[in-house]
Amino acid sequence: MKYNFSKQISIELLLWGLFFLLSACNGGQQKQKDTLPKPPITEATGYIVPKDSMIPPTIVPAGKPIVVKTGNLKETSVVSALLSASAPKKIIIHSPVKREMSTNGFTKPNVIKTVEDSILCKDPEQVIVKDPFFKDKNPSNFFYFGRFQGLKHDQVRCMIQDKSGNLWLGTDIGLTKYDGKYFYHYTTKQGLNNNTIYSLFQDSKGNIWFGTFNGGVTRYDGSYLVTFTDKDGLPGNIVNCIFEDNSGNIWIGTKKGLSMYDGKSFTNYTFKQGLAANEVRSIIQDASGKLWFATYGGGISVFDGKSFYSYSIKEGLPLNHVSSLFRDVEGNIWINTAYEGIIKYDGTDFYQYTTKEGLGSNSIRSILQDEQKNLWFGNANGSITKFDGKSFRQYGINDGLEAEAIRCSLQDNNGNIWFGTRGAGLIRFDGRLFSQLTGFEVLGKNRIESITEDKAGNMWFGTFGEYVTVYSEQEKGGVLKPIFQKFGNREGLGSRYVFGMTTDKNGRIWFATDDGGISVYDGVKTITYKKEQGLKSNSASTVFCDKTGNIWLATSFLGVTKFDGKDFTEYSKQQGVSSNHVKSIFQDSKDNMWFGTAGGGATKFDGENYTHFNKSSGFYSDTVNCIVEDRLGNIWLGTNGEGIVRYDGKTFIRYMDESGLKNNYVVSMLIDSRGNLWAGSYSYLHFIKSKNLEKIDTANSEVFITSFGIEDGFSGTRCNTGALKEDKKGTIWIGTYDRLIAYNGENRTEKIVPPNLKIINVRLFNENVPWKAISVNRDTSVTLQNGATINKLHFKGLSKWYNVPVDLALKHNQNYITFCYIGITHTQMHNVKYLHMLEGRDKGWSSPSDKTEISYDNLNPGKYVFKVKAVSGEGESSNEVRYSFLVNPPWWKTWWFYVLITVFAAFLLYSFIKLRERKLKQDRELLQKKVDDQTFELTDKNGELQKLNLEKDKLFSIISHDLRGPFSSFMALTSLMAEENDSFTKEEIKEFTISLNCSASSLYRLLDNLLQWSRVQQGSIPFNPKTINLKSVALEATELIKQNAEEKNIEFVIDIPEEILVNADNNMLQSIIRNLVSNAIKFTSQGGRVTLSAGIKAEDKIEIIVEDNGIGMSKEMMESLFYLNVETGRTGTDGEPSTGLGLIICKEFIEKHNGTLSIESEIKKGSRFIITL
């Protein structure tokens, strides 16, 4: 026993060691897995219409058309906001006044050493930016970000873009950073000295400087704030401007003087050192390295490091109040005066521009120069003036711009132009890409149904209710100005509703109208065809000119009609078109005609055969609104609700919202001159670059779709079918339900500016963590908002700007981690997709998703690197950002614990060896005991064999004993009958016959039991259960033994309901009942009673009971009933023989049915056998 206990202890210890070692193999789980399924691809089978099911098209000769001669088109007068720039006024500026320090009464500058005192900036308030607001009348696409969009204040005084692409806004309630998705607000709560921000600047080291009203200047390095005021040596606390010179010195313009900060001390300049005036509003540096200072009240000072050279009214400057300075890409310096316009200095001469020359205001607050070298002037009256060197373009209320004043402006890295205003917050100008026309004074109706371009380059716009407007440009005074002309009833159009237009190869304009037939204009006259001239209907929804000059019309719900100038040829469902409601017509490069229909999908007609592509033939939609062909010969189909479908002749590839499509109802499409695909839908315009189109095949079906919506400057409510056209200049014209929109492709920057990706936060347990507070006190225990407690976090420090922990080490039970990231961009933010991967956990990059966070939990201990990258809507990838962190193991998975386990395992091994030696010794001792045990076992087995032989002998004895009786009776009777046959009466012969029958029956039952017992032992008895009627089986089984009961005057009763059904083998069940009833009769005395009854118990069990009031059995006899035993075999009450085989067979058969047999018996009172099936 002592050895066994030690053995058990050692095994348990080894198992525990294995448990600790193997527990390290548990896998971590990713909380969230982004998936972006590939677009579905199906085989394009199509249905070819049998020729024998079609009839030939109907040909109707064209009658004499209606001809109307046209004169000059009526011109609609439009007040143009584009003005020719008058020659600026050259002003005579005399030589500046030189003021040299330390001479002529001017003193040396005051130098004050300072000590920087930094404070940790608290986390900013983060607000998701809501969709921008825009005016109802907004032809130039100005979009507003104010308080309703999340901005703190509606006055933006200053603005910069940092090196990461963030916009920084100085407002009257603090500093705001904007990354394209979030506003981050900094106020005095975060550590600012003052909330009113007057100026902003980012230095060459990446620090953000901001000047405040009465709060001095503050430098922010992404983590700490350092503020300088007059107490630190600054001349004044109202800071108007900040600038860094070529040497890296920071210049600060205040209301009380100018200061230069070299990182250690302030060098201050005022009027006493030669500055034109103490209030400095703006600072620039020219090509020669000289610094220019705009002062408010003293004009301009130019500083060469030793002397100031001043320009004022005395030297010819129009005004001493200069609000700002700007240096353009050509080196010209622009000088903004308070109310005398702007002055351009080209290095030699000064030129003045005022409202007389075309400025929108003489008081200009901001200047920027865009990528096309246009100058944008922000005016004090809230308007904006764009100057291209030849003309001035004014933007104001009629253009969708409404503000009290323009305070600042910039063009971001993506090409967007931004304006900070007073009263209107931050404004983004999207008119460079999109411009729009609305209003009855120009188009007559806002709803544009059709567009075409004539051979002169004029654009024709068909409207819903006001005929056609012709747009052209005419040079007047050196400036191209828009001209709008009306083409309507006076010119021969028969309807106000023009649903389709096209220009044929001869330059003629064709019109498809509602109830006005079709018309064609050749520049001199308008020719109209209606039903009277052979047209099938006066209403047509679209018109198309094929390569041979034939005109194809979609007539109202009557199919299509081809017009060759002489005859109308009509095609409908009877000729093979899939539907009579045709919405679009197109001819591909192989000369196949395509018809997009409503209700029938698309039909391809090759001149002989019609092929249908609709839902019944495997296509995605029964409505095809538009059809185009790309440069590789692929057909693109726009559907209702099923997106865009690409057809390469063999397969269909469908692109929907999961591929970047913002709306799946595509109503118009265009392949432009560069091979790009354009698609108009409800409220969106979509764009796919040609290089992306050409990469598509069945193996690489993904595509990057750029979408333009309201936030991008596309403000149409719904594009119209067929109203999408590119003109010769590359402008894309889009007709919508409420306006005409032009996409000015020539202004679209081609420079690749992918999103600048940043990890902006790391959360634990899906909650923000106060990393700054923890970094100050590393022993801090923090309870998060969801109740989770975190402590003992280890990290080296915090990253700048976003305060993300560096080299984070997590505890094993605090590893529910979330990464938040953003691709900083201000264009197409909603189209940016992100891919991520966790090295050490993920096998590869995730699918692209627009989600900006991902969570992981239950990570195994180890080192991990989280990687993320962004992809723009046009497929341009960002930089890859990596974040390394560590999940520490629990104590039972540390190296020292493994060493301890190893030592302990070695000890266990040593102990095991010693125990093994002891065991071998004990085994030798036990071997002899086992030999003795085996000998005893052989002896025991021999006894069992003898017992089996004895049972065999008993069986033979039983058989010989029980067979002797029936055979003896049988032989005696037959001998007696043979010898004295003639002396027997009929009654005696009958009695002998009955006796013989009883002997034969007993013999038969005995032999039958022996046969069944033998088959049971061999396992060869068949078992075929089925549903049978229990009472019928009982009656059949007891038919032969009723006589035995009658002979013994025993009352035999069968009490079984007719409706009881049982699932059993019929033969086995009969044998069971027959044996049990026969035994009951056998051991019941004369005049007794035997009952066979049955009933249904709970759980669908059937109970069969054989009960008698016979001699009964003792307890010892009941225990040996089911064993072959000659002692237990006893004769019946009338001497009937009994072997005991019947009960053994019954038990075997009942267990075969998964049933039970129980016995209740008492001597002299009877027995009760209960069967449960």
Residues 918 and 962 in one domain: yes
Domain carrying residue 847: 755-893
Q: Is the pLDDT of residue 1146 over 60?
A: yes
266 inside domain = yes
For residue 352, the SS3 value is strand
Give the CATH number of the domain where residue 1113 resides: 3.30.565.10
Q: Domain total for the chain?
A: 4
Residues 961 and 1067 in one domain: no
619 inside domain = no
Q: Quote the pLDDT of residue 481.
A: 81
Q: Is the pLDDT of residue 21 over 50?
A: no
Q: Quote the pLDDT of residue 34.
A: 40
For residue 855, the SS3 value is strand
Residues 162 and 265 in one domain: yes
Supply 414's token pair.
């993506």
Q: Quote the pLDDT of residue 998.
A: 59
Residues 369 and 248 in one domain: yes
Residues 107 and 250 in one domain: yes
Q: Quote the pLDDT of residue 997.
A: 65
> DSSP secondary-structure letter at 277?
-
The residues with which 612 forms a beta bridge, in sequence order, are 47, 603
pLDDT tens sequence across 391-436:
999 999 988 999 999 999 999 998 899 999 999 999 999 877 888 8
327 inside domain = yes
Residues 963 and 861 in one domain: no
Rounded mean pLDDT, 50-60: 94
516 inside domain = no
733 inside domain = no
> In 64-117, where do the E strands start and end?
66-69, 74-76, 82-84, 89-91, 97-100, 110-113
For residue 127, the SS3 value is strand
| SS3 of 642-671 | CCEEEECCCEEEEECHHHCCCCCEEEEEEE
Residues 862 and 919 in one domain: no
1086 inside domain = yes
More confident residue, 474 or 741: 741
375 inside domain = yes
pLDDT tens sequence across 468-481:
999 998 887 777 78
pLDDT tens sequence across 691-724:
889 888 877 778 888 888 887 888 888 899 989 9
pTM above 0.85, yes or no: no
pLDDT tens sequence across 875-896:
788 889 999 999 999 888 787 8
Residues 287 and 219 in one domain: yes
Residues 1050 and 1060 in one domain: yes
119 inside domain = yes
Sign of CA dihedral 377, 379, 385, 387: negative
Residues 328 and 423 in one domain: yes
The band of 341, judged by pLDDT with boundaries at 50, 70 and 90, is very high
Q: Taking each helix axis as running N to C, give the angle between helix 986-1018 and helix 1066-1082, from 0 to 180 degrees, rounded to the nearest 10.
A: 130
DSSP 387-448: E-SSEEEEESGGGT---SEEEEEEE-TTS-EEEEEESS-EEEE-TTTEEEE-STTTTSSS-E
Q: Is 980 exposed, middle or buried (0-12, 13-18, 19+ CB in 10 A)?
A: exposed
